[in-house]
Amino acid sequence: MVKCVKAPLKDAQTMKKDLIERDLLNHNYFTKKDSEYIYFPVKEDYEGEYKTANIEANSRKTTIAIPFKEALKEILSEKELEIAKTAFDHLGEIAIIEIPEELRVKEKEIANKLLESNPLVKTVLRKDDIHDGVFRTQKMKYLAGKETKIATYRENNCTLKVNVEEVYFSARLSTERKRIYKMIKEGEEVLVMFSGAAPYPCVFAKNTNAKHIDGVEINPAGHQFGLENIKRNKVENKISLYCGDVREIVPKLNKKYDRIVMPLPKTAEEFLDVAIPVANKNAIIHMYAFYHEDEFHKATDEIDKYCKQLNREYKLLEIAKSGQHAPRTYRICVDFQLLN
């Protein structure tokens, strides 16, 4: 039995378009219809005007996909397999892989093996450099499948659309976004600095009773996708997005916040002098950073320095690991509460 959305035949095209945009359509099964209704297989629960039903549906799969690592054995030598990276980022129907310089001559073959081994992947891109610049973007090279760099991705009851080359976005932070939204209390005023395509604001608005969420993003492309995403998730009334430098925008908002999120891993601590002055008494700040596990104290040293400069007392709540950047080096989120 397969979970399907049941829609009248007259609404078939509209329904299909909506499911594709929300990355809910399950392409592993065929649709079914009777004299009145069409049944679209879906990946998870559908929130909307139509009901879901569990029905018998025929699978599209005619062959059993083999794991990517096994598939690579068909085209790479044992020595090449030792340096090949089989982990990849999966965002909607896009897979983003890293290929060592020594294997670039076979990158198209590698990409096609990834497509063959993962039926849900329709596009393969290669990371062409590191996240860089003020916008924290990363060049991507198209390798195989449908030629696009725009992904529609679903997490935490939200559908998010993003150009993976023009906007910084990490699907690996979905669990971290959930961790934070579970802390948000009813009526909170929330600020998300460096909000990108608005994944944090959308997830917070969709899953909490926060009073309002403000997001500030300097990248115009990220801001534009953010505007589209809050509309797509029907949370425009709970979110306000601003395009510009947080140093210029945040003071002009003339607001105080109960919770401030700073998801800029490399240099977030440099903006504590912007965040702390707009934080209410007892506000909680979530600051992200990359540190070796022996140097986590450097993050709290920065917090200590800025709080002393601004005459604020604080309490450290938690240092949460939210991803591994390199051996023994982690993306961390430092949660701290201002006491005065």
Domain spans of the chain? 2-55, 68-148, 166-338
Residues 6+ positions from 319 with CB-CB distance below 8 Å: 296, 299, 300, 332, 333, 334, 335
**Arithmetic mean of pLDDT over the chain:** 92
Distance between CA atoms of 98 and 87, rounded to whole angstroms?
8
Given a cut of 70, is residue 60 above it in pLDDT?
no
Residues 17-52 pLDDT 10s? 788 777 788 877 888 888 888 999 988 877 777 888
CATH topology of domain 2-55: Alpha-Beta Plaits (3.30.70)
Please tell me the predicted confidence (pLDDT) of residue 252: 97
Residues 90-123 pLDDT 10s? 899 999 999 999 999 999 999 999 999 998 899 9
CA-wise closest residue to 118 among 95, 150, 97: 95
Given a cut of 80, is residue 2 above it in pLDDT?
yes
Residues 268-303 pLDDT 10s? 999 999 999 999 999 999 999 999 999 999 999 999
Distance between CA atoms of 298 and 319, rounded to whole angstroms?
12
Given a cut of 60, is residue 190 above it in pLDDT?
yes
CATH of the domain spanning 68-148: 3.30.300.110
Q: Which two tokens stand for residue 147?
A: 């030629």
Residues 142-174 pLDDT 10s? 999 999 999 999 999 999 999 999 999 988 899
CATH topology of domain 166-338: Rossmann fold (3.40.50)
Q: What percent of the chain has pLDDT over 90?
A: 71
Please tell me the predicted confidence (pLDDT) of residue 131: 61
Residues 227-237 pLDDT 10s? 999 999 999 99
Say yes or no: do domains 2-55 and 68-148 share a fold: no
Q: Which two tokens stand for residue 25?
A: 């359509």
Please tell me the predicted confidence (pLDDT) of residue 327: 85
Given a cut of 60, is residue 64 above it in pLDDT?
no
Whose tokens are 């973007």? That residue is 137
* pTM, entire model: 0.80
Please tell me the predicted confidence (pLDDT) of residue 63: 46
Please tell me the predicted confidence (pLDDT) of residue 265: 67
Distance between CA atoms of 321 and 290, rounded to whole angstroms?
10
Of the candidate ranges 44-58, 177-191, 237-251, the one whose mean pLDDT is the lowest: 44-58
Question: Is 46:52 a contact under the CB 8 Å cutoff?
Answer: yes
